[in-house]
Amino acid sequence: MALTTKTIAVIAVLLLVVGFAAGWFLRTPAPEVAPQPEVVFGALLSLTGSTSSLGLGESSEAALKLAVEDINEYLLSIGSKTRISVIVEDTKTDPAVALEKLQSLAGKGIKVVIGPQSSAEVETVKAYADENGILLVSPSSVAPSLAIPGDNVFRFCPDATYQAEAVAMLMWEDGVRVVIPLWRGDVWGDDLAKATKDSFEELGGTVVDGIRYSPTTEDFSTELGSLNSKVSQAIAQYGDVDSVGVYLLAFGEVVPIFIQAQNYTSISKVKWYGNSAVALDKALISNPQAARFAIRTVFPNPSYAVVKTEKYGLVEDQIREKIGRPPDNYALAAYDALWVATLSYLATGGTNDSATLKKALPQTAGSYFGATGWTALNEAGDRKFGDYDFWAVREDNGTFLWERVARYQVDPGLPAADL
């Protein structure tokens, strides 16, 4: 079941890379509004909770701190008296807490918020944001059902449609023809399970009815017992272990799932495939039992990838200095999101009117080339383009680590990053 490095070229998209956000400034005369001396943005980050082992909240918080420093230096350099700051709130990866924190930020008069990070949180808070004129700019929410034109949610990574295509293609290239999914029962898990099923079946594969579990589940013996039976039946029916795979959609619960899964024979023999919420998870490689199960079952996980330009390297290095490890690309998306939000504010002459900012933000994003590349958004306010790297667990002299093993490329006409 060895997974070899491969580049999966899938879509060729002709992309005209436009310049800095000045293009928007030149096209649209700014209204006569006096900029505020300090502009305060909000941030809803998953600093604790079920995704905290990924470090998404930690790295995004560091990225936003860096963005504040860089933006204020820029404002100083152009002679502007405006300065920005960000109030960061921990949502605990809990949709109910995210709503409480958003309401708190709204009470402070904040109109633009970076986050939330999970799709379940975005789903819960979006109605409040829409009704109260608050713009949400999420760096990492991907559920396809949240791609809604005209709402107040913008997402600086592509929705999971591309991720689903990437996983389905990798499964097919690996010789897998039958997949049994095990997934987290929330909007993110439901959407991605359906999207991947659709993509895999389009390739000619079969997706068996899988197992949906509650996000609060701690003991997975019932779910894993059922999964093991389904895998055993698939192996018996198709007569080939290598043609059967398990598709796991989980957050931090991947660790207890793997610890318990090693006790089941059939699911320990087939390939497993993961998702962007598990790629680079620190807790997984810190637990020897879970890490060894990941190695035994191959377990490649897609993660949003970007072209590593000089600007990417500069920003990545500075975030790395702050957190002591390489940041995930969602952190760099958060960095770009704050830049675009600030430039949108400046483009409108310093207004705090959310309707005006809502019009400016996608136009500014379409003219901005940041740490993650061109930030153009589609009609639903989501990132238009994005590649995916696949990461798998490896062991090196007794140490478990994540290693990049494959890439799914949506080619926008820019040079691809090297594997």
Q: What pLDDT is recorded for position 411?
A: 53
Sheet containing strand 153-155, edge to edge, reads 83-90, 38-45, 112-114, 135-138, 153-155
Sequence-separated (6 or more) residues with CB below 8 Å from residue 195: 144, 160, 161, 163, 164
| CATH fourth-level superfamily of 161-303+388-411 | Response regulator (3.40.50.2300)
pLDDT, tens digit (0-9, with 9 covering 90-100), for 62-118: 999 999 999 999 999 999 999 999 999 999 999 999 999 999 999 999 999 999 999
Residue 186 corresponds to which tokens in the numbers above? Answer: 């929330």
Strands 301-305 and 387-396: antiparallel
Taking domain 22-160+307-387, whether its CATH number is 3.40.50.880 is answered by no
Residue 390's region, left for phi above 0, alpha for psi from -120 to 50, else beta, is: beta
Contact 377, 148 (CB under 8 A): no
User: Which pLDDT does position 409 carry in this prediction?
Assistant: 83
Tokens 């800095």, located at residue: 20
* Alpha carbons 339 and 70: distance in angstroms, whole number: 9
pLDDT tens, residue by residue, 97-112? 999 999 999 999 999 9
Give Cβ neighbours of residue 231 (< 8 Å, ≥ 6 apart).
180, 244, 246, 266, 267, 270
Domain 22-160+307-387 matches domain 161-303+388-411 at the CATH topology level: yes
Locate the domains of the chain by residue range: 22-160+307-387, 161-303+388-411
Please state the φ and ψ torsions of residue 126, each to the nearest 5 degrees: -65, -35
The low-confidence residues of the chain, meaning pLDDT below 50, are 1-33, 412-419
Preceding omega of 300 cis (within 30 degrees of 0): no
Give the pLDDT score at 223.
98
Exposed/middle/buried for 23, CB within 10 Å: 0-12, 13-18, 19+?
middle
Output the pLDDT for position 53. 64
DSSP code of residue 99? H
- pLDDT number for residue 237: 94
Q: What six digits make up the tokens of 38?
A: 């300090």
